[in-house]
Amino acid sequence: MKTYLKQRNTVVRRGALLLQKKDKQTTGVIGLDAVIDGGYPRGSVVIVTGSPLSGIEHIARQFWRVEGEGGVYLMIDGDVEEGMVDSRNLNPDALPEYYRGKRIVVDSLSSVILNSGIDDAIQCLLLARKEASRENSTIMFLLYNNIHKPEDENRIFRIADVVLELKVVTFATEVERQLAVHKLRQGNVPKRLIPFNITDKGIELSTTSRVV
């Protein structure tokens, strides 16, 4: 009887873990899923902020290219690569028409702000949040730092479900890249900065003890 109960409890615990994973979407970044409790919450809006040299484009492409789930990459302010949607001439209110699949990237929200103003950008985020909730998808926006007003950034961060920041720290003889999780809906926010590397495969979180 004890053996049966132990086996049954094991099955129940495993089932609970499976249910929990169904509510998360893998980030596509080695090591990041474990840091944020299994991945991005499904039905969420994710903001990734940092400088153009920090690696935010890598984190967006890795999320978009995860196999097994369809998605779309809306390119507003860069070179349009194969598979991306040329969105350079689209108005912000037209972007939702192109949201397809479970993995959507808008590159970038900064261009929306600079071209159309913060109010249109906020409306764009609110529409994205409704779309993500309805379709159980994840919509990621890139936001470049040090070019927007702090009060505008605060409005953006309040709407987002997840906020990640990629930092570049320069020491005397080396450059270290660090990831900070500032906001995570339905999850525990890590207290420490997490070092990461950029390789030919993209971003990989460091395997040092600092990640644990």
Q: Can you read off the two tokens belonging to residue 169?
A: 């720290």
Per domain, the residue ranges of the chain are 24-211
Write down the CATH superfamily of domain 24-211. P-loop containing nucleotide triphosphate hydrolases (3.40.50.300)
**Nearest alpha-carbon partner for 35 in 59, 9, 61, 71:** 59
Q: How confident is the model at residue 21 (pLDDT cuts 50, 70, 90)?
A: low
Lowest mean pLDDT among 3-7, 84-88, 126-130, 145-149: 3-7
Q: What pLDDT sits at residue 68?
A: 81
Q: Mean pLDDT across the chain, nearest whole number? A: 89
Long-range Cβ pairs for the range 53-57 (8 Å, 24+): 53/168, 54/166, 54/167, 54/168, 54/177, 55/166, 55/177, 55/196, 55/198, 55/203, 56/142, 56/144, 56/166, 57/107, 57/142
Pairing of strands 44-50, 40-41: unpaired
Each residue of 34-54: pLDDT tens digit?
A: 999 999 999 999 999 999 999
Q: How confident is the model at residue 138 (pLDDT cuts 50, 70, 90)?
A: very high
Q: How confident is the model at residue 152 (pLDDT cuts 50, 70, 90)?
A: very high
